[in-house]
Structure 1
Amino acid sequence: MNFLKHIIFIFLLGICFSTGCSKEGHPIKLGLSLNLSGYSGASAENIKAGALLAVEAINRRGGINGRPLKLIIRDDKNTKEGILKADKSLIEAGCPVIIGHNNSQNTFIAYPLVTSHKRILFTAYSATTRLSGKDDLFFRTSVDNSLFGKAFGRLFKDEGIGSIVFLLDVSNPTFSEDLREEVSKNFDGRISTVRINSRTGIDWDRTVERLMATRAEAVVMVTEGISTGIAAQKLKLKGYNGRYFATLWAHGPSLIAYGSKAVEGMEIVTFLKPEYDNSMFREFSYEILREFSLRPSPKAARAYEALFILADAMQRCVPSPEDVMCIKRHLVSDSYNFLLGPVRFDKFGDVLRPIYDVQVKNQKFVLKRRLL
C-alpha cells in the first residue's frame, strides 16, 4: 500500500513539474460579471471586494496546484445587453467559470449564453426556482425559493399572521414573482400584492397608499436594501403599525443605512447568520476591513465563500483545473465547509442549507431563530 502511495505521489509530482506548478505558472482565469454602474450597483462593490479578497487569500496559499488565480471583472450594467456583452467577453477571454450575477433575473438572462458555451455559471445570488432541478453547468450557493417559501410559511403560522401584502420589485421578477408564488403554496391567509419597478422609478406616495389600503397585518418586502429601507421609512411616516419582513435581497448595510430606525424590528428570512464563530470568518472580517475599509457584509461573505468552493473543486482537477466537466464532477460529489458553514450540492447544482429568521435590533442584524 505504501509503495502504491509513493508511485501515485511521484506521478502527481511529475504532472506538477510538467504543467509548471509554481506561483509564477500560467494564471487560471475566472470571470466575475456583475452590475457595477447600473441601478443599485453600489452593493456590487461588496461582492467585488469579497471576490478579490478570496483570490488574494487563495493565491497566498499557493493558488490552484501552484498556479495563481486571475479574476477578470466585467460590468454588466444591469441591462440585458450589458449582461450578454460582459459574459461574452469573459467567454472569449478563456474563463472556464463565470461568477455572476447580482440577482436572479440577471443570472437567468446570462444562463443560456454561458452554459451553451460549456462554461460553468456559478452564483451566490440567485434563488429562482426557474433554474432548479436541471442537470447542467449552473451552480449556486443560495437555497432556492421553494425553501424560502416554506420558511416564510412556517414563520407566519408560528406568529399567527393571517394577512400579508407583498411589495414586489418586478425589476427582478424571476426572484420576486417566483418567491410570491412559493410563499402562497405555504400560507393559507389573505395575500395582497403591490408591484413596483426600481428600474423605471417609484412613486412612493402612491405605493404606500396602496400598501396601507390592504390593511394587511404584515408587509413582505421583496426589494433590495435601499428600496426596503425607503419603504419602511415611508410606511412609518404614514402611521403603519403592522410588521415588516424582508428577504436576503435586502440583507446588508444599505438596509440599515436607508431604513434607520424605521427598520427596527424588521425580520429577514435568509440562509445567512449575522456572524459565524470560525477562524475563516474572523480572518475574512479582519482582512476586508484592512484591505477595503469595509465591514463584513452578507454579499461580500457570499462572494468570498463562492471563490473558495470553486478553488477547492478546481484543486482536485489534476492535471487540468480548467476542465469544466471535472469541476462539475467535484462540485456535485464533494462537500465543502468554509466561512458560512457546510455546503453540499445535489446533482443539479442546488444546495440545502439552514434558513434563519434574522432581526434588526439596535441597528444591527441579530439571529432570532432557525426556521428550517
Structure 2
Amino acid sequence: MTLTTQQTDWPEVLDADFYGFQDQLTEEELRSVARIRAFLDAEVRPHADRLWEEARSPRHLIPGFAELGMFGAGWPETRHFDNSAVYRAWIALEIARVDPSTATFIGVHSGLAMNAIGVGGSEEQRAEWMGPMGRGEVIGAFGLTEPTSGSDTARGLQTTATRHGDEWVLNGKKRWIGNATFADIVVIWARDTADNQVKGFIVRQPSAGFTATKIERKQSLRAVENADIVLEDVRVPESDRLANIHSFREVAIVLRLTRAEVAWQAIGVAVGAYEAALAYATERHQFGKPIASFQLVQEKLANSLSNITASIALCMRVSAMQDEGVQKDHHSAMAKAFATARMRETVALCREIVGGNGIQLDHGVARFFADAEAVYTFEGTFDMNTLIVGRAITGIQAFV
C-alpha cells in the first residue's frame, strides 16, 4: 500500500494538549506524528464507526500501518528500541483518539506479540520474526488470559506444555485473545508439566489441534476480533519455544512494557471523547445559544481537560523512566490505574455534554464511551494495578 493521503511536516497542536507536552518530542518524532495523524484522519476515522458496528478489524490498513512504522518500533535483531518510549506512547495516544479498536489491534500485534519475541526470543527467533512482523507480513497475537484465569494468571494458568523429544504438546484454553482469528502466529503461554514454570511458544497458523472462535455480541472494542482458543495436543517444535522465557517473571517484563502504553491509549480515548464533546458543545444550540456558553457544560469540559492533562503528565514521566531503564512494575501499574480511572470519568462527562445524542455513533462520543470499559479492564484491572502499587508502598502483598 502506497500512502496517498496528504501529509504535513508538523502536527497541529491538539486542543487537549493544554500544557504543550508534545513539544518534548524531537523534530523527527514530531514529523512522524504529523504523518501518522494525517493517515489516521484520512484512512481510519472515516471507517471507524462502520467497522465498529460490523465488528471487523481494519485489516485492509495493515500495509499503511507498516509503511508508517507503526509496527515494531524496535527490536530489529537486538534488544534495543530505535526511538523513544515517549514517542511510542504519544503514537498510542494518537491512534486511540481516532479509534480505540485500531489502537488495541496494533497494541496486541506490535506491543504484546512482538515484545514477547523481543524479550523472550533468541537472536535467531528475533531475526526470523521481527522483520516480517514490522512490515505487516506476519500478524501476531498474544495468548495469556484463560476462561478461568485473568487477574491470577501468574498462579492460575492452566494451559499445559509437555515436552516429547524435540516437540512440545500444548493443551488448554485461552479467552479474549485479540487478533487470534486471523493472526499468522500466536504466542501461547503454558505451564511446563516438568517444572511447573510458565513458558512461551510461537504457534504458527494453521496448526493441527488449534481452533480460534470469534467472540460475538461484544459492546466494547467491537472492531477488535477477540477469540476463544482451544488447544488440543498442539505440537510445537523446540525451536519455536521462546528461548529466554523461563518463568512468569519474564512474562511480567512484557506486561510492564505494554501496560504503560495502555495508559496512553486510555488518554487517547479520553481525548477522542473530549474533542467530540467540545465540537458538539460549540455547535449545539439550546435556549437560543450554544451549550458551550453554559456554566455547567464548561465545568464538564474543564474537568475533562484536567483529567487528560494530569494523566499525560504522569505518563510522560513513566515513559521517560522506561527510556532511562528505571521503570518498575509499580510505575506502570500506577499509570494504567490512574489514566484509565480518569478516562472512565472523562468519557462519562463527555457523554453527558452530548445528552441523548451521546448514545448514538453519529455524534462521536458513543464509541469512546463504550470502548473505555474494555480499556479500563485489560492489561490488569484497576483493582490489581492498585494492589501492585499498594505492595510497593507497604511491602505487603494483599492480592489474596
Q: Which TM-score band (shorter chain)?
A: under 0.3
| TM-score, normalised relative to structure 1 | 0.27
Which structure has the highest strand share of the two? 1
Q: As a proportion of its length, which structure holds more helix? A: 2
Q: TM-score, normalised by structure 2?
A: 0.25
